[in-house]
Amino acid sequence: MSTMKFCRECNNILYPKEDKDQKILQYACRNCDHQEIAENNCVYRNEIHHAVGERTQVLQDVAADPTLPRTKSVRCTQCNHGEAVFFQATSRGEEGMTLFFVCCNPSCGHRWRD
């Protein structure tokens, strides 16, 4: 299980961020300029770019990603499992960030929005 990382400068949560030029995964603070390279260089593409048949595997990979924070305070809306990975992302055609959850139950992997 991964733990949340906090900024050394301002103590806010660090979020995974892909540096596409250097092809590395970083943790970055949204309140200051602090960034650090992630120990695990696993980068996931947004599932919207995948074919329907690949979607299940992408969600299982996200649920197993050690760089994403986990919560036990939210239950899966499909199977009622008590652990989920969460992340913020933008959706096509929408402005702003949306909080997404992916169920950590290997037989479920359901994704939902907050």
pLDDT in tens, the chain (114 residues): 345 678 888 888 888 777 777 777 788 888 898 988 877 655 444 444 444 444 455 567 777 777 788 889 889 989 999 999 888 776 666 677 788 888 888 888 788 887
Domain range for 82? 45-114
**Residue 113's pLDDT is what?**
82
Q: What token pair was written down for 9? A: 């400068």
Structure tokens at 47: 């599932």
79 carries a ligand binding annotation: yes
The reported pLDDT for the residue numbered 62 is: 77
Q: Is 108 annotated as a binding residue?
A: yes
Number of folded domains in the chain? 2
Are residues 51 and 27 part of one domain?
A: no
Residues in the chain: 114
What is the predicted pLDDT for the residue at 46? 43
* pLDDT score at 101: 87
What tokens does 50 get?
């995948």
Residue 59 has what pLDDT?
67
Report the SS3 class of residue 36. Answer: strand
pTM: 0.49
Domain boundary among 43, 58, 73: 43
The radius of gyration computed from the CA coordinates of the chain, to the nearest angstrom, equals: 14
Q: Which amino acid is at 35?
A: Q
Burial group, residue 20, by CB count within 10 angstroms (0-12, 13-18, 19+): exposed
104 is in an annotated binding site: no
Q: Which residues pair with 63 in a beta bridge?
A: none
Q: Was 42 annotated as part of a binding site? A: no
Tell me: do 76 and 90 sit in the same domain. yes
Q: What is the pLDDT of residue 48?
A: 44
Chain centre distance of CA 55: 15
- What pLDDT does residue 92 have? 64
49: number of Cβ within 10 Å: 9
Q: What is the pLDDT of residue 89?
A: 74
Residue 22 sits in the same domain as residue 72: no
